[in-house]
């Protein structure tokens, strides 16, 4: 508190003056304020470098830092929500989930049939490879279609569209391996793994439930192909026509 007596200045409240002196040591902003006090009071305030405007700006500065902190916390929660987790499979739409599970039937039926008969049928194994190649090509086309629409988080640049073409080329190479089922199955496994890598890391915007579903379906399809290769190594090879006769 400032009191003017006989042209002299007396400052009452030593503790209050110390508090004001400590505040003046904090970072302040250079502003232009209108004179609201007398010349003597203004000289005291200017000497202490403390104005109501500085106080207001100091409060605003701290408030803005709090707001930025809240926005970072909010963005962090959003990133955490969009992160990959197998628990997100429960949020998958039923049509996508049911169709994805039904898509495993051609993968699983081939090794189950050969394991039940304890024989390796090249025709059945090649049919499994053909189906796997079609799935790999489908995954590449889905990625291409995801990057094309306007407003998509994945831009139609060389990386996204180029990576969309690679699975189709691998599928074509797998179909050429008709006389060597093992090589064709390995190429399909490579295409499935590469497509999963693209979906999980390279392309943004896929929902968490889709990433979880893709991971599970890819693992099961890969294990089915590995099972076919195992049966080929340890079981006797037979032809379907010979078994019918």
Q: Are residues 53 and 103 in the same domain?
A: no
Q: Are residues 184 and 163 in the same domain?
A: yes
pTM score, whole prediction? 0.65
Q: Are residues 112 and 215 in the same domain?
A: yes
Q: CA-CA distance, 155 to 148, in Å (whole number)?
A: 7
Helix H or strand E encompassing 9: strand 8-11
Q: Which domain holds residue 225?
A: 87-244
Q: What is the pLDDT of residue 244?
A: 57
Q: What is the pLDDT of residue 177?
A: 94
Q: Are residues 117 and 223 in the same domain?
A: yes
Looking at the 3D structure of the chain, how many domains does it have? 2
For residue 9, what are the β-bridge partners? 4
Q: How far does CA 155 lie from the centroid of its chain?
A: 15
Q: Are residues 118 and 173 in the same domain?
A: yes
Count helices and strands (H / E) in the chain. 10, 4
Q: Are residues 167 and 67 in the same domain?
A: no
Residue ranges in the chain modelled with pLDDT below 50 = 1-17, 19-21, 23-24, 26-38, 40-81
For residue 6, what are the β-bridge partners? none
Q: Are residues 177 and 58 in the same domain?
A: no
Q: Are residues 126 and 71 in the same domain?
A: no
CATH for 215: 1.20.140
The predicted-structure confidence for 70-116, as pLDDT tens digits, reads as follows 333 333 333 444 566 778 888 999 999 999 999 999 999 999 999 99
């Amino acid at each position: 508190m400032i009191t003017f007596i006989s042209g002299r200045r007396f400052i009452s409240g030593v503790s209050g003056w110390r508090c004001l002196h400590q505040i003046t040591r904090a970072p302040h902003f250079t502003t232009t304020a209108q004179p609201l006090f007398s010349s003597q009071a203004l000289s005291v305030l200017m000497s202490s470098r403390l104005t109501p405007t500085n106080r207001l700006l100091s409060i605003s500065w701290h408030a803005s830092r709090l707001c930025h902190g809240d926005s970072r916390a909010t963005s962090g929660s959003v990133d955490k929500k969009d992160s990959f987790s197998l628990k997100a499979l429960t949020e998958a739409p039923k049509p996508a989930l049911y169709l994805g599970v039904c898509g495993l039937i051609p993968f699983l039926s081939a090794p189950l049939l050969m394991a039940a008969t304890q024989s390796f049928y090249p025709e059945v194994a090649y049919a499994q490879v053909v189906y796997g190649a079609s799935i790999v090509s489908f995954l590449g086309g889905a990625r291409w279609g995801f990057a094309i629409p306007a407003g998509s988080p994945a831009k139609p640049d060389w990386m996204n569209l180029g990576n969309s073409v690679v699975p189709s080329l691998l599928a074509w190479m797998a179909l050429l391996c008709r006389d060597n089922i093992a090589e064709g199955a390995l190429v399909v496994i490579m295409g499935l793994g590469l497509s999963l890598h693209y979906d999980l890391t390279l392309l943004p915007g896929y929902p968490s439930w889709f990433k979880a579903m893709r991971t599970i379906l890819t693992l099961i399809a890969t294990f089915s192909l590995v099972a076919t290769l195992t049966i080929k190594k340890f079981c006797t090879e037979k032809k379907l026509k010979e078994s019918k006769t």
